[in-house]
């Protein structure tokens, strides 16, 4: 798996010159990248859903509900032959996916990690892919 530095379209609207400029938006960024939607569209949809449910937009219940609404399906973590979860760099997936790691959400596009920073060494927990039509 290759790492591709990607701001998910955030740079079209907000500065991303320093790491502090692009923190706490990994959910919006990952979903925008993986679903190929505009950053602000994803952000606004997550905020609207969060307001309805009295939660924060990066709450797992919010982004899980949003991904489900747009037809994405949650998958269990990939495991090796010893039943241990794979690290992101070990994952082989040839589609768009949103991966959940410990405290972080990132996008994988055709087996390339697209994120603000390189988290390939983190455990790949559950993930989302576009559902069957």
The pLDDT score that the predictor gives to residue 10 is: 83
Cα–Cα distance measured from residue 21 to residue 14, given in angstroms and rounded to the nearest whole number:
8
The pLDDT score that the predictor gives to residue 20 is: 62
pLDDT per residue rounded down to tens, the chain (133 residues) = 888 888 888 888 877 676 666 668 899 999 999 999 999 999 999 999 999 999 999 999 999 999 999 999 999 999 999 999 999 999 999 999 999 998 899 999 999 999 988 999 999 999 999 986 4
Name the pTM for this structure: 0.91
User: Residues of 98-130 as b/e, b for ≥16 C-beta within 10 angstroms?
Assistant: bbbbeebbbbbbeeebbbbeebbebbbbbbbbb
């Amino acid at each position: 798996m290759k790492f591709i530095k990607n701001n998910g379209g955030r740079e079209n609207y907000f500065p991303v010159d320093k790491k502090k400029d692009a923190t706490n938006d990994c959910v919006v960024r990952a979903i925008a990248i993986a679903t190929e939607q505009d950053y602000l569209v994803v952000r606004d949809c997550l905020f609207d859903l969060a307001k309805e449910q009295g939660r924060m937009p990066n709450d797992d219940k919010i982004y899980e509900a949003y991904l489900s609404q747009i037809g994405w399906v949650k998958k269990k973590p990939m495991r090796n032959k010893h039943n241990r979860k794979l690290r992101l760099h070990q994952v082989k997936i040839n589609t768009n996916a949103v991966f959940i790691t410990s405290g972080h959400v990132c996008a994988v596009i055709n087996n390339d990690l697209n994120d603000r920073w390189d988290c390939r060494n983190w455990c790949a927990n559950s993930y989302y892919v576009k559902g069957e039509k």
